[in-house]
Amino acid sequence: MVELHRTPPPTADLDLVFRECQRDLLRTVVPLTGGDRAAAEDVVAEAFARAQREWHRVGGYDRPDLWLRRVALNLAISAHRTAVRRRRRRLDPPADPVLDEASIEVLDVVRALPERQAQVVVLVYFAGESVASAARVLGIAEPTARTHHTRALAALATALADEEDR
């Protein structure tokens, strides 16, 4: 009839968890927002706000930092796609670029990857994680992460070659 899932009470301190993982968190969010500071800041704030709301549950996890990073990754991908849609539809100009052209080009092709591939790429190359630890952050099996990693590199090679040809 009714399943009651009683989560252990929070044992971790949210502020402490945030402080300890915010650098890793930003290293994945910043590239996924194309270096847009305001958007990255929004994503981090939103991830933190969600953690606050869910801390009664998340705070009891063994690794609440992984939950926070996963939420931020998903939000960053979602924010990017929303921004693209809105930019197409609205009369607003895009935000001023803050990165060099080559970096923007790379970030654009990374963000055009399928969601999981993009997440694995930023975790491995921007946050300095191994593929195995990227899998832990994303909550997926390591072989799955390796597959995403391999496919992502192949797709990036093709996309960057296309960019060079233009």
Partner 1 sequence: MPTTADVEARLRRTAAACEPIVEDLLVAAPPDAAVAPAPRRPRRTGWLVAAALVVAVGVAGALAVDRDGGGDPAGEVETAGPAIAGGPPPTTDPAAANPALDTPVTLADGTEAVLAIPGPERWTPRFVEVDVALDGVEHPVEISLATIEALDDPAAEEVLSDRARIVTLSRGRALLVEVDGWGAVLGLASDGGDLPDERVAEVARDLTFRVTPGGPVDVGGAGITVREVRTVLTREGDTMGMEATLTVARIPGDPHPVCVGTPPVSETSRTQRCVADDRLLLSARGSRTQTILPGVEGAIGVTATGEQHAVSFPDGTEAVVTIPGDDPWPVVVALAWVAIEGDAERGVRQVRLFPESAIETAARTSSTMEEVDDLRWLAHAPDGTRRLLVQEGGWTAELELDDPVPLPDGVLAGLVRTMDLEPTAAGPGPLTGQGLVVTYADVRLGDLGDPDRPETQDVLGLSVDLDPCTGSPGRCLAGEVRAMPFGPRAGEVLDALTAEVVRPAR
Which parts of this chain interact with partner 1 (CB under 8 A)?
A: 1-2, 4, 14-15, 18-19, 22-23, 26-27, 30-31, 35-38, 40-46, 48-50, 52-54, 56-57, 75, 78-79, 82, 85-86, 88-93, 95-96, 98-100, 102-103, 106-107, 110, 121, 125-126, 153, 156-158, 160-161, 164
Smallest separation, CB 9 to partner 1 (Å)? 11
Q: Using CB atoms within 10 A of its CB, is residue 107 exposed (0-12), middle (13-18) or buried (19+)? A: buried
Q: Which long-range contacts (CB under 8 A, 24 or more apart) does 2-7 make?
A: 7/56, 7/57, 7/60
How big is the CA angle at 151 (ends 154 and 105), to the nearest 5 degrees?
50
Pick the closer one to partner 1 by CB: 67 or 126: 126
Pick the closer one to partner 1 by CB: 62 or 96: 96
Q: What residue type is assigned to position 66 of the chain?
A: L
Smallest separation, CB 143 to partner 1 (Å)? 19
Pick the closer one to partner 1 by CB: 40 or 135: 40
Among residues 109, 102, 115, 104, which one has the least CA distance to residue 156? 109
Smallest separation, CB 37 to partner 1 (Å)? 5
Smallest separation, CB 29 to partner 1 (Å)? 9
Instruction: State how far the Cα of 28 lies from the Cα of 127, in Å rounded to an integer.
Output: 6
Pick the closer one to partner 1 by CB: 36 or 138: 36
Smallest separation, CB 61 to partner 1 (Å)? 15
Direct distance between the N- and C-terminal alpha carbons of the chain, in angstroms, rounded to an integer? 61
Pick the closer one to partner 1 by CB: 62 or 89: 89
- Contacts of 76 by beta carbon, 8 Å cutoff, 6+ apart: 28, 29, 32, 33, 40, 43
